[in-house]
Amino acid sequence: MKFIHMADVHFDTPLVALKNNRELIKKRRTEYKQVFRDVIQLCKKEEVEFLFISGDLFEQKYVERGTIEFIISSFQLIPQTKIFIAPGNHDSFIKSSPYQTYQWPENVVIFNSEVGMYSYDTINVYGIGFDDYEFMSEEIEKIALEDDKKLNVLVIHGTLDGAGKKYLDVKSEDLEKFDYVALGHIHLKKVDDSHIIYPGSLISMGFDELGEHGIVIGNMEKGHITYEFKNMEYRHFEEYHVDVSKFKSPEDILHQVAFEDNIYRVILEGSRNVSIDKMKEILNEQSKNICEIKDITHLVYDFEAIQTEQNLKGYFTKKMMEELKSHPEQKEEILKAIEITYQLM
C-alpha cells in the first residue's frame, strides 16, 4: 500500500527570516499553499492510501480562518486517502484549536493526548497528539501491539532520544516494535533504513533549514517497506559566500555573483579594500530575494609600518603585535580588536 509522510508545515508562521522583505513574505505564503496542494495532488495521482501528518500542520497562534478552510477543502479532494494527524506543540489539541472547532472530513483522523489505534485489514495505525504547547507522556513505551502480524505504524510529533521530555521525548528502543514510525518536530530530514523517520519540514522556514525539503513517499507491506525522500518546494534558503579579497571596486562583485530564484543570505568575507556599503547597495539591486547581507570582512593594514610610527597608534599596534605573537590562537579576536580601535582613533 502506498503512503506519504509529511510534517511541520507551519501554515501562517510569522516567517521571521523574511521580516525585512514584505513582498517575499507574501510570495512565500502562497508557496506554502501551492506545495501543500501539490502533495494532495500527488496523493490523488499515485492513489496513496495513507497520508501521515506528524504535527505542526499550522501555527495555532496565527492561523487564519481561510487557511483552515483551505486545508479542509484540500483533504476533501482525496476522500479515498486515509489521513492521520498527530498534533504537535504548534497546533496542539487544545479546546480552541481548529481541530476541535471545525468540521473535518470523514477521511481525517486527529489524535488526542490518549494513544489511539485504528485497525484495517493489513495495518494498524497508532498515534498520540499534544494537548498543550508542551507535552509529556510515557504511554508510547507501554503500547502493546494488538496484532504483530499486521503492519504497525506510529504517528507522533516528538524528540527522538532527546535529553528531556518537554516535547514528547521518545527512545529508539521503545519504537522498534513498530514497522514504521512517522515522526515530526525536527525540521531537517532523517531518512534512513531505521524505519524511524523525520521527513523534515515541508517547506524551509529560514537559514537554519538549508537544503531540500519535502515528504517521504513509499510502499509498505509486512516485512517489506520501501520509501524515499521527495523534494517538494520550489525554492530554498541558501547562503551565498563571497570573498572580496581581490575586489578593486564595489562593482567587481557583479562578476562574482549569479542569483537564481532562491532566498539568500549573502556573506561577505575576506580582506577588503572597497566600500562595503556600496557593495551592499549593488547586491540589493541585483536581487529582490536577498534577505540579509552579513559582513565578516576585515580591513588590510601594514602592521609592520604602523608600529614604527611615533604616536599612539604606533605604540598600540606594537603592543598588539606582541600579544599576537604570544597568543597566535587568538588571532581573529586580536585583529578584530585592532580594527575596532583604529576606527576610534
Region 324-338: mean pLDDT is 87
- The DSSP secondary structure of 104-153, one letter per residue, reads PPTTEEE--SS-EEEE-SSEEEEE---SSSSB---HHHH---S-TTSEEE
Domains in the chain with CATH codes: 2-231 (3.60.21.10), 237-344 (no CATH)
Region 316-340: mean pLDDT is 88
- Does residue 299 carry a pLDDT above 80? no
What percent of the chain stands above pLDDT 70?
Answer: 99
For 267, phi then psi, to 5°, come to -115, 110
Per the listing, cell 508562521 goes with 13
Residue 163's pLDDT band (cuts 50, 70, 90): low
| pLDDT tens-digit readout, 116-148 | 999 999 999 999 999 999 998 889 999 999 999
Between 75 and 284, whose confidence is greater?
75
Q: Kindly report the pTM of this predicted structure.
A: 0.85
Number of residues that this document lists for the chain: 345
